[in-house]
Structure 1
Amino acid sequence: MRVWYNRTFSSVYTAIKLIRQADTEGRFTIVHSNPSRHAPAARLAHEFHTEPTGLDREAYLDWCLAFCRKHAIDIFVPGREATALAGEHARFADIGTRVLSAATGSTLQLLHDKARFYADTELPEAPVAEFRRFENLAEFDAAYAELRARHPKLCVKPSHSIYGLGFAIVDEERSSAALLLAGVEYHIGRDDLRRGLGELGQFRTMLLMEYLDGPEYSVDCVGDEGRLVSAVVRRKPPQAGSGQLIDMRQDILDATERLTRRHRLNGVFNVQFREGGGRPRLLEINPRMSGGIGMACVAGPNLPWIALRGFADGYGQVQVAPVRNGIRVAELAEAMELG
């Protein structure tokens, strides 16, 4: 069975490695594509092909269809243009290719828009932080006055973002220059922020939120059209260098199961929580493999393999290893020659 992972995040390297380790019968031929022939995953895939650059969305979808037809792809696990491809399953089915999408196209659009996603979410086990959206300085000032009256510390982030890009805690005492010189990361001076927002005039949707100061939890999951098949909860320490703890908190698992069912999540995905006020609070759903997927799999379940084998043959054919709760895990850098 031929499986194609197109251009995606760097975690695809770990996923292919884990799948090949588990596939002792050699049933799956892993195909990977990337614009760069030096992509690390190219060394692990059975076949590697170069992707074109500069294509618009429709042209790229057509290229994907032609690629699947030419290379006899049985299962396509999209990374690049995953949202658009989620709405094209029928076109691929016509040429004999099944597409493993994390959710429907409309659901993926919702998950990528945090303002809409937060407003849509009702999660008693882990409610989202109180937030307000703003697109100009006046809206920021009104939101700040309202939320600051209830919360001692606030933060900002874009409604559309990955990897936490654009996130910053608002500091009312120090300037951005003072924070920079002090080596304080992910903070911004309030006055500097206001001045910059005023200079921009109107801008893309941003969120002002209560800041949650507790530990962060990352849950790596496999879903089967809304059924949570397996989940591994990692608790991230406040300081780097001490690894992460596998902490299978029942309240976080319950919240994750509800989200999986509500959004009919499928394949490998990740849910992020952070503790605030003594309970977990939802941060986001990442409809893709997380960068820490390898650490989660050290705890027992081989999540990329479970997702692929379950999608190919049905989850009744897959054995899911128990999670070794309480162990500490870490990820180490590995040097290699790319050729």
Structure 2
Amino acid sequence: MRVWYNRTFSSVYAAIKLVREADTEGRFTLIHSNPNRHAPAGRLAHAFHGEPTGLEREAYVDWCLDFCRRHAIDIFVPGREATALAAEHARFAQAGVRVLSAASGPALQLLHDKARFYLETDLPQAPVAEFRRFENLSEFDAAYAALRPRHARLCVKPTHSIYGLGFAVIDEERSSAALLMAGVEYHIGREDLRRGLAELGSFRSMLLMEYLDGPEYSVDCVGDEGRLVVAVVRRKLGQPGAGQLIEQRADILEATSRLAARHRLNGVFNVQFREGGGRPRLLEINPRMSGGVGMACVAGPNLPWIALKGFADGFDTVDVPAVRDGIRVAELSEAVELA
């Protein structure tokens, strides 16, 4: 069975490695494509192909369909343009290709829009942080006046973002220069922020939110059309070199299960929580493999393998090991020569 992972995040390297380790019978031929011919995942795939650059969304979808036909792909696991491709399952099915999407097209659009997602989320086990959306300075000031009396610290982030890009905690005492000199990351001076917003006039939609100061939890999961097959909860310990702790908290697992069912999540996905006020609070759902998926798999379940084998043959054919709760995990880097 021929499986294609197109251009995506760096976690595809871990995914291909883990699938190859588990596929002792050689059931799957793994293919990876990327515009960068030095892409590390290409070293592990059975076959590697280049991808075109500069294509508009519809043209890229057409290219993917043609790629599947030319290379006799059976299962396509999309990364790049995953939302657009999720809406095209029927076209690929006509070519004999099954597309392993994390959710439907409309569900993926919702998950990528944090403001809409927060407004529509009802999750008593892990409610979202209080927030306001703003697109200019006056809206920011109004949001600040509404939230600051109720919360000791506030933060900002874009409604559309990955990797935490654009996130910053607002500091009311120090300037951005003072924060820079002190080596304080992901913080911004309030007055500097206001001056910058005034200079911009209007800008892309941003969120002003209560800042949650507790530990962060990353939950790596496999879903089967809304059924949570397995989830591994990692607590980020914060100290450099301390690694992360596998901590299978019942409240976080229950919240994750509800989210999977609500959005009919499928394949490998990730949910982020952070503690605030003594309970977990939902940050976001990443409808893709997280960068730390390899650490989660150290705890027992090989998530990319479970997702692929279950999708291909049915989850009743997959052995799902118990999670080794309480162990500490970490990732180690190694130097290699690129071909």
Instruction: Establish whether TM, by shorter chain, passes 0.5.
Output: yes
- 1:191-210: CA deviations, max 9, x gaps? 00000000101111000000
- The residue correspondences of 1:36-51 to structure 2 (distance < 5 A) are 36-51=36-51
The one-letter amino acid paired with 2:110 is: L
Give distance in 2, aligned partners of 1:150 and 1:107: 32
2:317 maps to 317
- 1:132-170: CA deviations, max 9, x gaps? 000000000000011001000000000000000000000
The one-letter amino acid paired with 1:89 is: H
1:125 maps to 125
Aligned to 2:336, the other structure's residue is in SS state coil
Give distance in 1, aligned partners of 2:55 and 2:265: 29
1:157 maps to 157
The one-letter amino acid paired with 1:103 is: A
Aligned to 1:7, the other structure's residue is in SS state coil
Aligned to 2:3, the other structure's residue is in SS state strand
Per-residue deviation at 1:80? 0.3
Aligned to 2:202, the other structure's residue is in SS state coil
- 1:61-108: CA deviations, max 9, x gaps? 110010000000000000000000000000000000000000000000
Give distance in 2, aligned partners of 1:216 and 1:240: 15
Aligned to 2:204, the other structure's residue is in SS state coil
The one-letter amino acid paired with 2:97 is: T
Give distance in 1, aligned partners of 2:190 and 2:36: 41
- The residue correspondences of 1:178-197 to structure 2 (distance < 5 A) are 178-197=178-197
Aligned to 1:141, the other structure's residue is in SS state helix
The one-letter amino acid paired with 2:169 is: I
Give distance in 1, aligned partners of 2:254 and 2:208: 27
Give distance in 1, aligned partners of 2:279 and 2:159: 24
Give distance in 1, aligned partners of 2:54 and 2:90: 25
1:34 maps to 34
2:93 maps to 93
Per-residue deviation at 1:335? 1.1
Aligned to 1:15, the other structure's residue is in SS state helix
Per-residue deviation at 1:331? 0.2
Q: Structure 1 vs Structure 2: percent identity of aligned residues?
A: 82
1:233 maps to 233
Give distance in 2, aligned partners of 1:42 and 1:309: 21
2:108 maps to 108
Per-residue deviation at 1:238? 2.2
Q: What is the RMSD of the two structures over their aligned residues, measured on CA atoms?
A: 0.4
Aligned to 2:66, the other structure's residue is in SS state helix
- The residue correspondences of 1:52-71 to structure 2 (distance < 5 A) are 52-71=52-71
Give distance in 1, aligned partners of 2:28 and 2:247: 32
State the TM-score, normalized to the length of structure 1.
1.00
Aligned to 1:325, the other structure's residue is in SS state coil
1:281 maps to 281
Give distance in 1, aligned partners of 2:18 and 2:105: 27
- 1:172-200: CA deviations, max 9, x gaps? 00000000000000000000000000010
Aligned to 1:203, the other structure's residue is in SS state strand
Deviation beyond 2 Å, 4+ runs, structure 1: none
Aligned to 1:149, the other structure's residue is in SS state helix
Give distance in 2, aligned partners of 1:184 and 1:206: 22
The one-letter amino acid paired with 2:291 is: G
Equivalent pairs counted in the alignment come to 339
Aligned to 1:188, the other structure's residue is in SS state strand
Give distance in 2, aligned partners of 1:284 and 1:242: 24
State the TM-score, normalized to the length of structure 2.
1.00
Give distance in 1, aligned partners of 2:224 and 2:240: 34
1:148 maps to 148
- The residue correspondences of 1:177-326 to structure 2 (distance < 5 A) are 177-326=177-326
Aligned to 1:48, the other structure's residue is in SS state strand
Structure 1 unaligned blocks of 5 or more: none
The one-letter amino acid paired with 1:320 is: V
The one-letter amino acid paired with 2:240 is: A
Give distance in 2, aligned partners of 1:35 and 1:50: 5
1:78 maps to 78
Give distance in 1, aligned partners of 2:334 and 2:14: 12
